[in-house]
Chain A
Amino acid sequence: MGEPLNPRYRLYHPKWHRTRIPIFWWLRSFAYIKFISRELTSLFVAYAGLLLLIEVSVLARGEAAYGRFLAWLQSPAVLALNAFVLLALLFHTFTWLNLAPRALVLRVGKRRVPDALVLVAHYSAWIAASALLAWLILRR
């Protein structure tokens, strides 16, 4: 080995190289972008939950207040926002529910419950809960 070209190098003092992680590391691959989107859309889940709670509390304040709230919900800006939120929620729900069989390994006797069944159970529960909520909100 000749003279080291790196003036800061000291013999027998190994120098590891560490790469710094860019802030936009999640743009590096499509899989990472999908992951970050799934995580970020959970904010919209919180928003939807909050909206539902507000709706219930407005309902408790009487018919006039509820009517004003409904009118606000029907304004074009809010409609557009909520349409976007709905898309985000659907993305979140599908990506989330599709992961369920990976986490849930169930056994009946010696046999493993097939992944498809775990998926069907999750989607059915989701549809049933949504239908119940829709019925509660939309019935007159």
Chain B
Amino acid sequence: MPETITLEVQRYRPEDEAEPVFERFDVPFRADWMVLDALNYIKDNLDGTLSYRWACRMGVCGSCGMMVNGQPLLTCATYLERLLPGPIRVEPLKGFPVIRDLVGDITDFLEKLSRVKPWIVREEEKPLAEGEYLQTPEQLADYEQYSMCINCMLCYAACPIYELEPDFIGPAAIAIAQRYNLDSRDEGVQERLDVLSQHDGIWACTFVGECSVVCPKNVDPAGAIQRYKVAATADWFKSVLTPWANR
């Protein structure tokens, strides 16, 4: 076991640098440390100006995603040991404009997320007195996988389409749309389809599949998008072949 390990951390301080640079830090190596622990060590002991996001350090909050040696990873769930002998290159998530050091601007994702109405849409709420909306275990199983998404945006960083075509609504937003579409209590399928059947919706996806590979929660956004394509196509054929059945 080595005593220390080197991190090459991307710094971007717009007041001082026109372009990002890499700074090297030697941190103690500990077998139970994650990349995030090493960053916290740097901030606490070596350079307090280092900026990055994190909160829960247990793979739930979704805020510590970064490029580690070129791979989008949750830094709180990536052992230093896995990356021996180093140096470990830490960069901000790919595809997002960088505000400072390792902090990206995620406004774009948040706007897209709200576009797919990530909540249960009801045409009419039933009165409180009638009690809750019940669901069977099978109905829960239909969407449960997609409800695991923690909005970490690793899938966006893995997606070359999002990088090339920033209008693409992106993997997680579509998977989350599917999470509500497949929920037996929801009635918003058509509203979401109107958003997602646009050019920048599901059809921008060419099934590279990397989003599902990097997803730390096994959401399988790529699968969600392809299923959506099948459903949208079936919907289209139905509306053409049986126009009287509509509305």
By a beta-carbon cutoff of 8 Å, the part of chain A in contact with chain B is: 1, 4-6, 8-9, 11, 14-19, 21, 25-26, 28-29, 31-32, 35, 39, 99, 102-105, 110
Contacts A17-B97, A17-B98, A103-B227 known; A5 to B163 CB distance under 8 Å? no
Instruction: Give me 19 A-to-B residue pairs in the complex whose CB atoms sit less than 8 angstroms apart, sorted by A's number.
Output: A1-B15, A4-B15, A5-B17, A6-B15, A6-B16, A6-B18, A8-B18, A9-B14, A11-B15, A16-B97, A17-B12, A17-B20, A17-B98, A31-B213, A39-B206, A99-B226, A102-B222, A103-B226, A104-B227
> Which of the residues A6, A16, A29, A102 comes within 8 Å of B17, measured between beta carbons?
A6
B16-38 vs A, Cβ < 8 Å mask (1 yes, 0 no): 11111000000000000000000
Most buried by A among B160, B209, B210, B220: B160
A39 (CB) vs chain B CBs: closest residue: B206
A13 (CB) vs chain B CBs: closest residue: B14
Cα of A1 to Cα of B49 in the assembled complex, Å: 11
By a beta-carbon cutoff of 8 Å, the part of chain B in contact with chain A is: 12, 14-20, 70, 94, 97-99, 105, 138, 160, 163-164, 206-210, 213, 220, 222-223, 226-227, 229-230
Most buried by B among A15, A17, A18, A21: A17
Contacts A19-B94, A21-B164, A39-B206 known; A14 to B99 CB distance under 8 Å? yes
Q: What's the dominant secondary structure at chain A's contact region?
A: loop
Q: For A8, what are the chain B residues with a Cβ–Cβ distance below 8 Å?
A: 18
Cα of A26 to Cα of B159 in the assembled complex, Å: 11
B158 (CB) vs chain A CBs: closest residue: A31
Contacts A16-B98, A31-B209 known; A21 to B163 CB distance under 8 Å? yes
> Which of the residues B15, B20, B97, B160 comes within 8 Å of A26, measured between beta carbons?
B160
Q: Is the CB of B209 within 8 A of A35?
A: yes
Q: For B206, what are the chain A residues with a Cβ–Cβ distance below 8 Å?
A: 35, 39
Cα of A105 to Cα of B19 in the assembled complex, Å: 47
Q: Is the CB of A103 within 8 A of B97?
A: no
Contacts A6-B18, A31-B209 known; A103 to B70 CB distance under 8 Å? no
> Which of the residues B15, B160, B226 comes within 8 Å of A25, measured between beta carbons?
B160
How near does chain B come to A21, taking the closest CB pair, in angstroms? 6
Q: Is the CB of A104 within 8 A of B230?
A: yes
> Which of the residues A1, A29, A102 comes within 8 Å of B226, measured between beta carbons?
A102
Most buried by B among A14, A15, A25: A15
Q: For A99, what are the chain B residues with a Cβ–Cβ distance below 8 Å?
A: 207, 209, 226
> Which of the residues A5, A28, A39, A110 comes within 8 Å of B16, measured between beta carbons?
A5
Cα of A11 to Cα of B15 in the assembled complex, Å: 8
Q: For A1, what are the chain B residues with a Cβ–Cβ distance below 8 Å?
A: 15
Cα of A51 to Cα of B10 in the assembled complex, Å: 53
Q: For B16, what are the chain A residues with a Cβ–Cβ distance below 8 Å?
A: 4-6, 9
